[in-house]
Amino acid sequence: AQKVTQAQTEISVVEKEDVTLDCVYETRDTTYYLFWYKQPPSGELVFLIRRNSFDEQNEISGRYSWNFQKSTSSFNFTITASQVVDSAVYFCALRRGETQGGSEKLVFGKGTKLTVNP
Amino acid sequence: EPEVTQTPSHQVTQMGQEVILRCVPISNHLYFYWYRQILGQKVEFLVSFYNNEISEKSEIFDDQFSVERPDGSNFTLKIRSTKLEDSAMYFCASTWDSRSNQPQHFGDGTRLSIL
C-alpha cells in the first residue's frame, strides 16, 4: 500500500527564517513519483514540483529546494528566507509509476500548515 | 496560463438532495479526476475518468456518486442523495497525459456544505 506521512502538522516561523517541511513515504513499488502541492488560504491546490524515483538529484527553484533521499524514503521541502506569502498548507503526494499497475491516483499526506509571521 | 475551472465555489444543499458539481478541465487535457478534502484533513482520491469511462475509483466513490462528461468541455460529479458526511471541498483535476510524471492540475475547488 502507498502511504505518505507529514509528521509536522503546523510550523510557525518568522519572516526570513529558513524552514524545512518533512515528507516520508511508503511504497513497495520500484517506480513511483513524488509531488509537492501548495494550498494557500484561498483553498486552491497549486502544483510545485514532481520527482521520479530514478532521479535523486536535489532541485532548487528560487527560494524553494527539494531533497529526495531514497535511502530514507524522504522528500523534504525547504523554503529559504521565508516570506509571509509562503503561508499555506503544503501537501506531499505519491503516485505509482506506469509499470506498477497504472493507478493514476495521487496519495496525499495530511499536509503541513506553515505560518510565516512578519 | 490555462487553468481548471470549478463552479460553484460554494454549494449549500439540504441532506438527501442531489447535487452536481461542475468542472471545466484545461482544454487539451484528456484525463480527469475528482478528489475531496474534508475540512482539516488530507486530500483523498475519488475517481479518474478517461475516454468517457471511469478508469479507477476509490471505496469512497459508492453508488451515490457518478461522473459524466456531458459535452466537450464539462466534467461533472453528481451526488444523488447527499449525506452530512459529504460536506467537504471537492477538487477537480486534469492532465493531458496519464503518465506518472505529468502533474495533475487542480481547480480552486467547490466547498459543499450539507445541512
Contact assignment for B104 to A47 by CB distance below 8 Å = yes
| pLDDT the model gives residue A52 | 87
The average confidence (pLDDT) of chain B is: 92
Contact assignment for B100 to A96 by CB distance below 8 Å = yes
A50 touching B (Cβ < 8 Å):
yes
Which candidate, A100, A112, A101, A102, places its Cα nearest to that of A75? A112
Contact assignment for B31 to A32 by CB distance below 8 Å = no
CA atoms of B106 and B65, how far apart (whole Å): 20
- Chain B nearest-CA distance from A13, in A, is 21
pLDDT tens series, chain B, 115 aa: 668 999 999 999 999 999 999 999 998 888 999 999 998 888 999 999 988 899 999 999 999 999 999 887 899 999 999 999 999 999 999 998 777 677 899 999 999 999 9
pLDDT tens series, chain A, 118 aa: 889 999 999 999 999 999 999 999 999 988 899 999 999 988 889 999 988 888 888 888 899 999 999 999 999 999 999 999 999 999 999 998 766 556 788 999 999 999 999 9
Rounded to 5°, angle at Cα B13 from B8 and B17? 115
A99 touching B (Cβ < 8 Å):
no
| pLDDT the model gives residue B100 | 60
- For cell 516520508, the residue is A24
CA atoms of B94 and B104, how far apart (whole Å): 5
| pLDDT the model gives residue B28 | 86
CA atoms of A79 and A57, how far apart (whole Å): 17
